[in-house]
Structure formats: C-alpha cells, structure tokens
Amino acid sequence: MKLEAKFEREVIDLSGFWHFKVDPEQRGEREEWYKASTFDWDKLYVPASWNEQSTEYTWYMGKAWYSRGFWVPKDWEDKLILIGFEGVNYRAKVWVNGQFLGEHEGGFTPFAFRTGHILNFGGENRVVVLVDDTLSTKTIPPGEGMNRTYFDFFHYGGIHRDVYLRSVPKLHIRDVTIRTGIKGGDGVVDVEAVVLNEEEKGASCDLVLQVLDEGMVVSEKTVKFTIAAHAEKSVKDRLIVKGAKFWSVGSPHLYLMRKKLTVGGSVKDALDTRFGIRTVKVERGRILLNGRPVFLKGFGRHEDFPILGKALTGAILRKDYGLMKEVGANSFRTSHYPYSRTHLDLADENGFLVILELPTVGIRTTVDLPWVTQKLRLGKGLDRLDDPEMIEKAKKMLREMINRDKNRPSVIMYSLFNEPSSDREDFRVFLKELRTETEKLDPTRPITFTSHTHLEDKALDLVDVLCHNFYFGWYQQCGNLEEAEKVLDETLEQLHRKYPEKPIIVSEFGADAVAGFHADPPEMWSEEYQAELIKTYWRVLTSKEYVVGGHIWNFADFRVGQSPRRTMLNRKGIFTRTRDPKLAVGVVKKLFTETPTYP
C-alpha cells in the first residue's frame, strides 16, 4: 500500500494480496462476512482475475469475497474520501468497516463510493468486496455459463483493475471536458470544468486555466465565479494555443491542461489533464485526422495474459505497443470492452488511433455458428433486442466509458456493438437509443458498430463508418482463398454501392494458426495459411479507395471457454499468447509498412 500525493489530492493504492473466499452456496451476505475481522480465507493478488491464480478457481463462476485492511492518514479528516475501482467483473457490492457503500454492474468501467463518514482516521480500516460474475441473458455481455458465453473470449472474474483510496478537498474540481479544434496553425481548446462545493458556506472563486507544453505555459485564462454551499457549478472558457503542435499518428504531441481553483489567492484544488490538439471528421467517404485522410492499420486485441487474466501490467503493455509499432500498426479496436486507463494512456503517448468499444458483444437472438454445415448451438440467445432493461444497462456503461476517456486524443471513434443481430428491426431501437445517448455525451466523434450480417444488416444507415467482420476463407469458403477473395471483393462492392458516402473498415479478418504447425501448400490451421489469408485480404481492401482501414483478428492468441470449435485458445493471433511471433508477423510488417498512414 503506497501513498501518492499531487497538489491537494492524495491517493492510496490498494494493490496487493487480499483475503479471498468463494461463496458457491451464497452464504456470505446472510452470515455477514463483510463484518469479519479474522480470516481463514485464501489470499489472491489484486489487480488480477481469480481464475488462473489457482487451479481451484479456473472454472469457478459465481460469488466470491475479497477483503483487506488499510490505513488512513489523520489529516484526511477534513477532506472528501472516495474508494475507487477501475474494473470489477461483473457485479460488485462494497462495504467499509462493516457499512454498505453501494454496488455496481459492469466489468470494464470505473466506479467509486464516498467513504469518509465511516473511516477510522489515523488508524486501521477494512474494505470488503462481494464479486459476482454469474452470466445470464441480462448481463452485458450475456451468457449462460463459463462454456456457454455469447462471446468468444474467456469469462474471467474478480477485481482485475486498480483499487485506490482518494482524498479531495471539499471544494474541488469534480470533472473536466476538453474539446479541441484547429484554426489555421493555432489550436482551439474549449474547456468545461465542473466544480463541487461540499463546504458549509459559499465561495468566490478563480479558476485558472493553463495549457502547458513541456512545463512552459503557452496559453492561460482566469475565470471568476461564485458558488453556493453544497452546490455544483459548470465553468466554461476557450483558450487559443498559437502555433500549436497537433496530435497525430506520426507526432503524438501531448499538452497538459492545468486547472487551479483558488479562493482569496489560496489554492484550494488543482488538477492536471493530458490532451492533444486534433480533429476527427468523416467526410466524403473518408476519415479525416486534422483534415487529412487517414488509413487504419492494426488489430483487434484482447486484455488477456497467462495467470493475470484480464489484468495487463505495464511491462506487458510496453511489450505489446513495441510489437505493434515494429510491424507498422497505427490503430486498434478495444474489442470487446473498454480497456484499462494505462492501456489507453500508451495509445495517447504512442500515437495510436483507437476505436473505443462498449462491452455490448453477444447481443443476439440466436447464438450459434450459422456458417458451419451443422449449426453448433452455443446458447438460447436474447428474447428481444429492444429490452428496456438491457438498453438502460448499456447506457450506464456508455456514460461511464465516455466520461473516463472523452479527453483522449487517441480515441477517434465509438463502437457501440460487436456483431449484434443487426439483421432484425428491433436492433434498430437499441442502436438508436445508444446513438442518441452518445451524441448527447460527446458529439465530436464518429459512431459505428461491427457488423457480421453485411448486406442483410438493417442498421447500417445509423452509423457514420461501416465496420465489417469478414471470415471468408475460414468459417466460409474453408481452405479456398481464391473463392474467399472473390466473395470478399463482391461483398465490399455491394456494400459501397448501397452506402456510397460511408467509409468502410474491415474490422476483423483472420485465420487460426497453431504455432509450429506448417503446411506446403498452405492448409487451414497452419502458419502458412494464416499468412496467405492475411495477404489475400490486404490485397483486396487496399485496392478499394472507399476502404479506409483493416484490423487483423487478432494481435495475440487469447484464452476462450471450452467447445469443439476451439483448442483452449482462439489462435488467430499473429503472436502467441505469450507474444512469440508466428510466420504471419513478417508478412504483416511488410504489408503495413508498405501501406501509408496518410494515402
């Protein structure tokens, strides 16, 4: 447990070993385990999924309890205290010192609860978290069991992202929104700060806004305002950065927005936010970054690694970004959920273009593999796609996702679904609801979803960019790349004729390759076949001026549930699960480096 301080804010990191106990009989709440002070429980590390830390928990799905003690400084008594969780899969209930704080649903977005009123300042405290990763047709994503998921990745459970305790002043900056534009060679920076006053009296405040470039102030403004006691106020202004350095793939320049809240000349709170000055638009069938057409080269990814599960450490992420840069990638989609803050911090720093995706995968009324000769039934599917309960859950996750990542220059687009049953009319209701909510929260970024129904899709008119997942040559036209190439070409042409103004991204294409399996001539499951399929697809999509990107599925092999269609892993990665290269890596490097980011 370590204490980090900056300005008037301090953070205690609660990473480390926590007491852990599974609760398959659901006795814990009834027996008040949240009040326990002595433990004969196991210990697991947080952040990390529980599944691979012990063989005892590999296939466990259900309720489980976490508990740990922590110390709170005495001088925090006059501040607001929050206990925050970056990601807990799937449901979480939280107690501190035996008192219930609240609950949250959704495994990939952050949440926090106020806890100052029940803390022992200058002494020991205890946090207890009940995690329930039980799947149902009402969870997002949905499923019916560890091996009956409506999604094709392993269902990890547990506290898989950071947990922390944060103190903030009672008069503080609660939220900041930064939106940027370009005027000639200058950067236009619109700022909205939400200030919260929990003190017993009102205040006359100054909000000092500074844009810093490598420590030097390059633009500054001061906004004066008053705020009542126990009130919230939104403060807005515009700053101009003369001769700005624009954020781009080749030059991901980051500025720092420093906000200082003062009363009578005394600094009450301060907060730094990194941002980049850039614009993203869709015009005339192109995606424009800072007014220039851009071509996306990259991958679908997963947060998955042995033992850690969904928790990718900084060292793993450093390795991944290094490998992506080595092969010439410039983008990825956060398939199929928002990735961690650290994951996206590195995208901002390294100039990667990110399609940020909600965990709304598996939103289908039938869950099978319709492209095989005999349908493989994976689940019963959802009863309806316009279910108000599911729509409201998705909206909440959407709000949490956008609120966390709205200021990132790397995030250029929102993907609201992956492979839904978009050939149905009732899906349009769900998509319209989420699109409206997205535009209300952030009207600056294009909207998409990834389709697998293609020409039968009934919702493509509702998105700005068409994203399509194609598996010709793998699930269809098995082993026949010549036929796959022909069908891919024809399908793209028909989509373009139907929606001539919309740019197309081939958001998934690939083939499984068992590392070390070789065949001449190339056969399915061999490294050679995977490489040839990727070359075939790249040849087609780069020949179409209306195709503005291609993402290989997948960057690295990842764990899945048990079924006759998989051998422990989805092996479509061009790297193994432990990041060893397959034959396709050299092929992809040549294809990506020969394809310019700016056509």
> Out of 508, 527, 528, 532, which one is annotated catalytic?
508
If we measure between CA atoms, which residue out of 233, 113, 124 comes closest to residue 171?
233
List, in sequence order, every beta strand (DSSP E) within 61-202: 63-72, 80-85, 88-89, 91-96, 99-105, 111-114, 123-132, 158-159, 163-168, 171-183, 186-197
Query: Which 3 state secondary structure label does DSSP give 425?
Result: helix
In whole angstroms, give the CA distance from residue 573 to residue 555.
Answer: 5
Query: Which listed residue (8, 86, 303, 419) is catalytic?
Result: 419
CA distance 560 to 146: 9
Give the integer Cα–Cα distance in Å for 163 and 240. Answer: 37
> Is residue 473 within 8 Å of 518, Cβ to Cβ?
no
Strands 547-553 and 296-300: parallel
How many angstroms separate the CA atoms of 469 and 510, rounded? 10
Closest Cα partner for 455 from 463, 471, 466?
466
In sequence order, what are the beta bridge partners of 258? 210, 272
Say which amino acid occupies 473. G
Catalytic (active site) residue 508: yes
Contact (Cβ atoms closer than 8 angstroms) between residue 562 and residue 569: no
Widest pairwise Cα distance in the chain: 79
Cβ neighbours around 500 below 10 Å, total: 10
Give dist(CA 301, CA 514) in Å, integer. Answer: 18
Active site residue 594: no
CB 536 within 8 A of CB 482: no
Distance between first and last Cα of the chain: 49
**What is d(CA 98, CA 480) in angstroms, rounded to the nearest whole number?**
62
Using an 8 Å Cβ cutoff, are 10 and 167 in contact?
yes
Q: Residue 82 corresponds to which amino acid?
A: L
Cβ contact 556:573 at 8 Å: yes
Which residues are identified as catalytic? 419, 508
